[in-house]
Every structure is written in structure tokens, then in C-alpha cells.
Amino acid sequence: MKLARFAAAVLFAGALSHALPAAAAAADRSPIQQRADQFLALVNASYQALYTVQQHAEWDAATDVSDAHDAASTVASKALAAFMGNPALITESRALLEHESELDTLTVRQLRRALLLAAEGPMTNPALVSDRIEAETQQASTMNGFTFRLRGKDVIANDLDERLVKSTDLAERREVWEASKAIGPSLRPGLVRLQGLRNGVARELGYPDYFALQAANHDMTTAEVLAMQDEFLRTLRPLYEQLYTWTRYELAKRYHQPVPDRIPADWLPNRWGQEWEALVEVPGLDAALAAKSPEWVVKAGERFYTSLGRAPLPATFWSGSDLYPVQPPSTRRKNSHASCWDMNLDHDIRSLMSVESDEQWFTTVHHELGHAYYDLAYSRPGVPYLLREGSSPAFHEGFAEVAAMASRQAPYLQSLGLIPAGGRSKDDEIRTLLHDALATVPFLFFACGPMTHWEADVYAHQLPQEQWNARWWKYVNDYQGVVPPSPRGEEFCDPVTKTHVNDAPAYYFSYAIATVFEYQVYCHIAKTVLHQDPRRSNFAGHPEVGAFLERMQAPGASRDWRAILREATGEDLSTRAMVDYYQPLMDWLVKQNRGRRTGWTASAGTAEGTVR
């Protein structure tokens, strides 16, 4: 109740202090523009205040899982949803947009953003919104509070991941993989409920389903999203087939087994088979990082950005973040998924991680700080609070991955003393390309394939829960060429073990867009801004790179993402840069795979992935 009263007081104060000055400042504008200015002044002030309360409550719930924190998070989420989904706000936004031609572009974008936010919690049906928020909170609590067990002992997710990376004992690997899926049945009931609730809130504002709402957040339709994902896969399939074939034979050799027709899921170094880079160690990197502290890893990430001319992270980042694993004897439980948080849309940036001194976390730190610096770039007076976000949701991941990609390049690693100053041999350069391709190309076939198509089925086609696991494994086979180690019936719920299915639904296609964006922007910077070979580029120490990125980032959501990308790179979104980047690897793989079977057997009734 205290939190609800505080939110109401902040909303009233924000409305009173911002609406009247806006009216005076807009006296020389048209009547409809003045009306919109007054309305948006109130909405922006109240949105920022309530957003801040919500973020703090959700942060507490993620960093210290408890019933009390879950309850506070629910109240804060309801307060924000009640405001943004208010019927009067929806009505006024729609009424103003009927005069779109009389309004400036920034106003129109704010009004459309307000309606998209309203669609997440339309108070035209307050009971539905309340039920959805409570269900989301309960699902997060179930997920964050789950204790993994292996051979009778409690383990954390990092332990399972490490064993899947390092173990060559197939019996152990199968136990670990199955332990990682044990959370699925406990999450199924919550997702069944959320399937209906999420679709329900989307329909309140005229969207056919929740997937369509998320597509609209990218200015696309469901059909356009699926077509784009399929086009990514079509253009990248020759490279994936070569990587897949090399991996199939490599794993068979590693485990002393016959070469399988399709790759067993427990053979791969990732719980979902989405990233395979652990099969190839970048020369010297893991050993060098083992000698560094986790604190050094985080500070190295910050130094990368300051070398581009960006300001040091705010002091509140260091005082407020939760950066390292919870150590015994502490019983505190926290979300194990790395994330970056914009707490107030005005420079209070934090990160939730569990940093350790290894290659994965070195890259993750550069990635997460990429989110932080994007947040900081658009947190400026020219961008209203409603538009202080990525121009597209994919832009946030894209910019973060541009930094992650730059962090893997040899010249940068040499400058940090993580690999020898003499450079890499030709063999090492190919291995590095192979490592990076295994991190990104299989990811795209997971993201564009099973994740996007399964969630489209769940929301757009209301796939019944009795078919969830079968449909999931059909897509995993068809798109990835991966099969479970043993039959997985509907008593399991393997897709729900993926964090994003629970807390970022119908969103994974955005990561795929971001990956293609990453290569396009990274290669453009290397070639055009720095005049360097993209495979041997070093962004660090070049303020012109920071300036280029900040120009793309500063508008936030005040401009269309396609226009920003086209203006910066001179072309529309395309996998061309990615294909070009890996051409030397493609040539090498073709030679390695000569005489081998490529591809895999697809499910009955599809033409994808036939063995040749």
C-alpha cells in the first residue's frame, strides 16, 4: 500500500508541475499541437516517475528473491500499468493521432509509443492486467528460485554450463543436460496461464495476439518478422551447413563415437544448442583471463568505452550494480541471467551479472556495458522519456554485440596482454574465425528457427500445451539438425527452460535482427571509419568510433530504426556483411568437409535439411 500511495503522489506531482509550463511554452503552436504538448508533458513526467519505482522494485526481486520483493514488484508493475493503460490515456492518444498530419514527428512517435505501452496493460480490462502481472511475477519467482540438482546435490546454472563445456564423459553429459531441463515441468503451468493472459492484453488494444504486438514494436507484422527470419536462414544456410558438418565430425572424434546423422543435444556445449564456440578455444585467452580478477574483467570493459571517447560509467553504476556470483554461506538467491538496467531513464545505470574470469564473461561484460552506454547516449533533454529506448528493440542488442565483437579481435586482445604481441598465425586466425562463427551462426539458426517459430505458434496460432514439446523438437530438428538424447514426451516442457520464453516472450527474433545488425555496423566501422580489415580491427583508442556510434544512438526511439541504419551504413539490413566476414572460413570449411555428408534429415513433411 505504501508503494501504491507513493506512486499516486508522484503521478499527481508530475502532472501538476509539467502540464502548465508546457502550455505556456507552446502558445505559438497550433491548437492540436498545444493539446498534444500538454498531454505528453503529463504522460512523460508520470511515466518516468512510475517507471523508476517499478525498476527499483524489480531490481530487488531479481537480486534478492523473496516473497516480499515479489509482492513489491507486483504492486509497482500494477501502478505503471494502471497509468499507461488508463482508458483516458488510450482515448486521448488515439484522438490526437487522428490529426497526425497537424502534429510534428516527435509528437507522433510519442503517441504511438504510448499506445504500445498501453497494449502491455490496458486498463479497459483491469482484472486481466492484474492477473497478467501477478502471473508474470509468479513465473519469475518460480524461475529464479529453482534449485538445480545433479547426482543428489544442489548446483547452480553456471556449474551445469561448465560441465557441458568441459566434460567428455557422455554419461555425465546426459545427466547434466537432463538436470538442466528439470525446471521445465514446474514452469509449464505458469506459461499456460500466461499464453492466454498475454494474448488477452494484446487483443484489448486491437492486436490479434501477443506475437503481433511484439512485431508491431519493431514496426513489422508477424508475417514480415517470420519472412525476415527465414530470409536470414536462407542466405546463411550454406555457411551453417559447413559449420554443422565440421561440428558433427569433430564431436564424434571427441567422444569416440560414430558420426551421427544429426547432433545429439547433450553433445553440444550449451543447454539449448544455440552457441557452440566452446568447441574451439581462442589461443591463450582462457588461460590469460584465469590470471585476472573478476573486477579486472569489468574494469577492462569500461576502459574499452572510455578509450572511444565515452565518459566513465556513473558512480551509481558501481554502488548499485550486482556484478559477481553469490558466495557461500550467503543464502541470497538472484537471477542468473546477465542484464543491464536503466533504473530511471536519467543516467542511473546498473548491471546484474555473475562475472568470473573467463572468456565468456569477458565478452559478456563488453556486451552488457554496450547496453549501458546506449542508455546514456539517449538520456538527454532532446529525447522525451517515452522515447528513451532503442530505436528498435533490436538496436539495444545490436550495439551491445558490436562491442562484444570488437572485444574478440586480436589487436584489441594484444593491447590488453591477453594474447602474444606477435600476432596470430594463419592457423590461429582461422581458428578464431571458427570460434566466432560457432558463437553466432548456430545462434541465428536457434533464434530464427525454434525460438521465433515456436513462440509464433504459441501466441499467434494458440498451440495447445499438449503439443508444445513435440513442436519444439520438430523445429530444433528441422532448423538446427539437433535431436534429444532420448524421447522427450509432453511430460517435459523443454522450450520453457529458456529464460526468455518466460520473461521476454515473443522477443527472440529481435536478437536475430540484432546479430545481423551487429555485423553490418561493425564491418562498416572497420572498413569505412577506420579503413581496417574487419577481421583484424581494433576500435579501442579511436574516438571517431565512439562518435559514430553515439550519432546512431543519441536519437533513441525518436527516429525510425531503418532510417538510422540506412543513413549510417548506406544500406538496408542484410546478412551480406556477415557472409563476407566469414568467407575465408567458408573456404577452409569446404576443404575440411570434402567427402563428408552435409546437412541432416528433417522431420517428415519438410524439405529442409536433407542429407546430401
How is residue 206 written as a grid cell?
486491437
Q: Of 288, 365, 269, which is closest to residue 324 (Cα–Cα)?
A: 365
Cα 296 to Cα 22, 264, 355: the distances in Å are 47, 37, 10
The fold of 222-291+362-592 is: Neurolysin; domain 3 (1.10.1370)
Q: What pLDDT is stored for residue 490 in this prediction?
A: 97
Q: What pLDDT is stored for residue 240 in this prediction?
A: 98
pLDDT tens for each residue of 426-454: 888 899 899 999 999 999 999 999 999 99
Burial of 24 (0-12, 13-18, 19+ CB in 10 A): exposed
Task: Please check if 281 is assigned to a binding site.
Answer: no
Q: Could you tell me which residues are beta bridge partners of residue 349? A: 342
Q: What pLDDT is stored for residue 421 in this prediction?
A: 83
- What is the rounded average pLDDT for all residues in the chain? 92
Pairing assessment for the beta strands 339-342 and 349-352 based on DSSP bridges: antiparallel
Torsion sign over Cα 200, 87, 96, 557? negative
The answer to whether 498 and 184 have CB atoms below 8 angstroms apart is no
pLDDT tens for each residue of 343-367: 999 999 999 999 999 988 999 999 9
Task: Please check if 56 is assigned to a binding site.
Answer: no
Pairwise CA distance, residues 191 & 187, whole Å: 6
pLDDT tens for each residue of 482-540: 999 999 999 999 999 999 999 999 999 999 999 999 999 999 999 999 999 999 999 99
pLDDT tens for each residue of 365-418: 999 999 999 999 999 999 999 999 999 999 999 999 999 999 989 899 999 999
pLDDT tens for each residue of 120-161: 889 999 999 999 989 999 999 999 899 999 999 999 998 999
Cis peptide before 442 (omega within 30 of 0): no
Q: Mark whether 256 is an active-site residue.
A: no
Q: What pLDDT is stored for residue 420 in this prediction?
A: 86
Q: What pLDDT is stored for residue 601 in this prediction?
A: 74
What single string gives the DSSP state of each residue in 532-592?
Answer: --GGG---TT-HHHHHHHHHHHTTGGGS-HHHHHHHHHSS-S-SHHHHHHTHHHHHHHHHH
Give the helix/strand (H/E) hosting 518. helix 508-524
- Beta-carbon contacts of 464 under 8 Å, excluding residues fewer than 6 positions away, are none
Of 99, 231, 500, 608, the active-site residue reads: 500
pLDDT tens for each residue of 309-341: 999 999 999 999 999 999 999 989 998 889 999
Cα 517 to Cα 51, 233, 514, 523, 569: the distances in Å are 28, 15, 5, 10, 10
Of 302, 368, 389, 518, the active-site residue reads: 368
Percent of the chain at pLDDT exceeding 90: 84
Residue 24 has pLDDT above 70, yes or no: no
pLDDT tens for each residue of 218-266: 989 999 999 999 999 999 999 999 999 999 999 999 999 999 999 999 9
Q: What is the mean pLDDT of residues 535-558?
A: 98
Q: What pLDDT is stored for residue 158 in this prediction?
A: 87
Whole-structure pTM value: 0.86
pLDDT tens for each residue of 455-486: 999 999 999 999 999 999 999 999 999 999 99
Instruction: Count helices and strands (H / E) in the chain.
Output: 26, 6
Coil vs helix vs strand at 535: helix
Q: Mark whether 500 is an active-site residue.
A: yes
Pairwise CA distance, residues 449 & 48, whole Å: 36
Q: What are the structural domain ranges in the chain?
A: 2-145, 222-291+362-592
Pairwise CA distance, residues 40 & 38, whole Å: 6
Task: Please check if 337 is assigned to a binding site.
Answer: no
Torsion sign over Cα 414, 420, 424, 430? negative
- Beta-carbon contacts of 100 under 8 Å, excluding residues fewer than 6 positions away, are 108
Q: What is the mean pLDDT of residues 64-72?
A: 93
Residue 335 phi, psi dihedral angles, 5° rounding: -60, 130
Residue 610 has pLDDT above 50, yes or no: no
Q: What pLDDT is stored for residue 40 in this prediction?
A: 98
